[in-house]
Structure 1
Amino acid sequence: MTTQPLSRRRVLRAGAATALSATALTATALPSIADAGPTDPALRKVVLVGANPGVQLFHGDVVTAYASVWTVDWSTHGSGAAIVLWHDGEVRVLTDHPSLGYWLERTFTRFFPEATGLLWPEPRVERRAVHVTNDLAQGTRARAGDVSVRIANVLDRRAFATDEFDLGGRVHSLSLVTGPSASAAIEVRGRRLPGEIIRGGTPQRPSSSAFVAVAEVWRF
């Protein structure tokens, strides 16, 4: 089993459900890949402030599940929370604000390195209340509908910043504090999804395919 997961960590180093069709959400002002932001990072504007912890599970070198948890304090598309779950070739977006959740999945999550090589279809957006607790001391717990995500035993806390985060040809600036973690699980309908996280790095600078994130700012 490899100790370097193909994930964003390598880049960073460090009530009733209402299913909504993707076409019903296309009226949301989603940016085109052809749209170009300022090439000078100093001219880029803040588009999102929040947090985006995540878990990628593996069986050997094969990804079995990926969960991206969002809490958005402010963005150009509003505030709220979402869980984006990839499993068995399907993408679900569970969110209390469907237009925000759709934007998060279409603009950010599907372009993350964790999604590279995965069959990534149009998402199924489900209106659900999302409950998230997230900090660098205790880790992350998130649940929405029949999905729950847990990230625990934070191993390290590191600041990270880049002006070269490519999201489908649209280069963003990103800054955050990340905490690679020693344990994690994703459950659906009370059943734990198969696969394990991958840990690597050194005792002084550990890495993991499960991570807490806080103080996250995206600029474009």
Structure 2
Amino acid sequence: MTPRTTDHTPERATGHTSGHTPGPEASLPAPAWQVQSLLLAYPDEHLEGRLHLARRVAAALPEPVAAPLHRFLDHAGRTGAARLAAEYVEVFDHRRRCCPFLTYYAHGDTRKRGVALLRIKRTYAAAGLRLTDEELPDHLAVVLEFAAGEPEAGRKLLTEHRAGLELLRLALHDTGAPWAHVLDSVSATLPPLGGDEREAVARLAAEGPPEEEVGLAPFAPPQYMPDPVGGRR
């Protein structure tokens, strides 16, 4: 289910300039979001370099953001790329509750999700960014990468999907997955859950996402689409 490209980075269009200058409070999480994005990518041959960069950046981050990253980095350093890659597949490919695609939590596989994906793609395009054809725009690693470059717009996207992020964080903790620590770090960069968001998390946990399985063909590669009898990788 999870894309395994070498780099989740949206490509900046040539000549792009931002339409605003983020204030200090908006730009502070950017290094954290960049590192979190890298750590949520598939553990491939570039893992060692990512871990080295993440340790350097985490050393300069506030403790509530940095401490969970260090816990993940300690695990990754002990585990090694091959074993960590197997864990990644087991968690993100085989556990539906650990879906890294944020619009899935609010919309399931419905037409509304297709609209939500299009809106995110338009947000990226307005910032002068584009994705490769095989990437879905709502993968958490992609959203965090975008947020690192466009903090104001990225923070808005992350907070819009706050309930889904929290459900993913809880699911990862329930399964004992090391990426739960990365989600702890992401949560530390965002405002606390509000009352409505807590209700949304409880509702999603109890009911799950909507189940209508139509409307994604323009956005999802075939390998990410439900099969004809309603299954999902």
| TM-score under structure 2 length normalisation | 0.24
| TM-score under structure 1 length normalisation | 0.25
More helix by share: 2
More strand by share: 1
